[in-house]
Chain A
């Protein structure tokens, strides 16, 4: 077996990059570089000439790496996306987890597997965090909207907070909508009417 594999991780977020590098280090002895700036990505990768490139599926810069998949691309060695040579559904799992890997052509899958396993586990965690964050944000927004709608009802109808909420809930049930939707409609309408 030749010297340790070199891996480039394309990740603009510093904390995420550190986490990825850490889990790769746990998985084996690799020569790891992180590229955080999308500008000049192809040139930077060419300079490093890595065996494996890992990039977030959500990153638009992934298309830049597609150049590397061409023999005439900026890398001297042809690069293939991992999918070409994988029979174990690893790539499918990787895509689902949100990570893309570009691997130098001809590399044995068993050499890449530990890297992918580590990356997949890490990206899964990012995905969970991302979903949680989005959910929390949404819940907060909805709470704010409901509070505003309650305030408007309290003022307009001279009711207390519990009654205002009961009114929102009843309307929502009657219309088959969520309380937050009714609240949002009320706030929008009030905004329009000035």
Chain B
């Protein structure tokens, strides 16, 4: 019996997979809910659909609800991130002209070293780099700023940032409007496929464990419908666990390729899901383990410290008071609701709700429900460690 139908907004991206899989593979039905997935044309429209109650939940860029809580953009409706949907999954790509200059400069496109790639990029740029990001409040923007600033190119001040929707990123590059982009898959691969760009780095080369998208709901809805929210979180969590099974990516690529979802060839979607990216029109392939993660290492746990990191980056850029921003941001990632929802399952949950961000350089066992939880590496490329405020 279906208790309720929940409508969920999403953008055509690889990391909408947990929602699509929850619906298609019956994980929603197992929780006696039905999902009505509604594809949205832009991030602002997903946010507004959620804010105005046109959908109950949404696939959302992790910084969007944090930005809203800080009074940046949005409609003033309080939003909660009740689960992370996916960790990592972005690529940085450069125009063919820039790729040629990088190769002349001796860059090897090894696709794993953010320092080397970034220094080469800064060295060959003869004018302010024009960088495309999908949204002003996005992990894409945060990763680019963090990366370039750490290498001595203060961003966004010294670069020219342009907001380009993911599906139009390849077109913008072809039109010569941007020199480089950071975008979620499969849109980087589409640029490669169309012969307009070369991939330089996966987002994970900058931050090994960046919370990329979240499952967002209105905070008042979360308080009013705890039962439905629990069902939704569990359904999506099981979908993520299924996605992490070795046999799943190929089937997931087929599901996602359907007309009502991404409407793109499964072969292109398969690249990100299997971590085998084709980086250039010449067909060079790079293997990136954990290119996008839906489950392992408590990937979907909404760490308060992740929200705080995002909040403080935004605060630093917009001149907001840091302690206030940190507090407001922490309240957005609802590890409490995530725990409550997963209590009836055998999910392995961390003992803490906040962690040092960037402290793990390898897989590490941590305190958890039954003591068998391993967190994956979460380091920043420059080795910096972010210590969240005491709680």
- List B18-71 residues whose CB lies under 8 Å from chain A: 41-45, 48-49, 51-52, 54
Q: Does any Cβ of B come within 8 Å of A60's Cβ?
A: yes
A77-108 interface with B by 8 A CB criterion: 81, 83-84, 91-92, 95-96, 100
B41 engages A57 (CB within 8 Å) = yes
A38 CB to nearest chain B CB (Å): 7
The answer to whether A95 and B52 have CB atoms under 8 Å apart is: yes
Contact (Cβ within 8 A) A60 B42:
yes
Q: State which of A65-73, A137-145, A176-184 sits at the interface with chain B.
A: A65-73
What's the tally of chain B residues with a CB closer than 8 Å to chain A?
A: 28
Q: A42-B163, A66-B135 are in contact. Are A58 and B41 (CB under 8 A)?
A: yes
**1/0 contact trace for B141-167 toward A, CB 8 Å?**
000000000000000000000111101
* B contact residues around A59 at 8 Å (CB): 41-42
Binds A, one of B2-10, B72-80, B206-214, B235-243: B72-80
Task: Judge whether B42 and A62 touch: CB under 8 Å.
Answer: yes
Interface centre among B44, B54, B162 (most CB of A within 10 A): B44
Q: How large is the interface on A (under 10, 10 to 19, 20 to 34, 35 or more residues)?
A: 20 to 34
* B136 close to chain A: CB less than 8 A: yes
The listed residue (B49, B76, B136, B175) touching A70 by CB distance below 8 A is: B136
A61 interface contact, C-beta 8 A: yes
Q: Does the CB pair B177–A63 fall under 8 Å?
A: no
Residue of B nearest to A37 (CB): B175
Residues of chain B lying within 8 A (CB to CB) of residue A73: 136
Instruction: Please indicate the chain A residues that have their CB under 8 angstroms from the CB of B51 in the complex.
Output: 83
- Confirm or deny: B223 has a beta carbon within 8 angstroms of a beta carbon on chain A: no
A63 — which chain B residues lie within 8 A by C-beta? 42-44, 134-135, 163-165
18 A-B pairs with C-beta separation under 8 A: A38-B168, A39-B171, A57-B41, A64-B165, A65-B44, A66-B73, A66-B136, A66-B163, A67-B163, A72-B318, A81-B44, A81-B48, A81-B75, A84-B75, A91-B52, A95-B48, A95-B54, A100-B45
Binding site for A on B (CB under 8 A): 41-45, 48-49, 51-52, 54, 72-73, 75-76, 134-136, 162-165, 167-168, 171-172, 175, 177, 318
If A60-B165, A60-B168, A95-B48 are given as contacts, then 15 extra A-B residue pairs at C-beta distance below 8 Å, sorted by A number, are A40-B177, A42-B163, A57-B41, A60-B41, A62-B42, A63-B135, A64-B165, A67-B136, A67-B163, A72-B318, A83-B76, A84-B76, A92-B52, A95-B49, A96-B54
Binding site for B on A (CB under 8 A): 38-40, 42, 57-67, 69-70, 72-73, 81, 83-84, 91-92, 95-96, 100
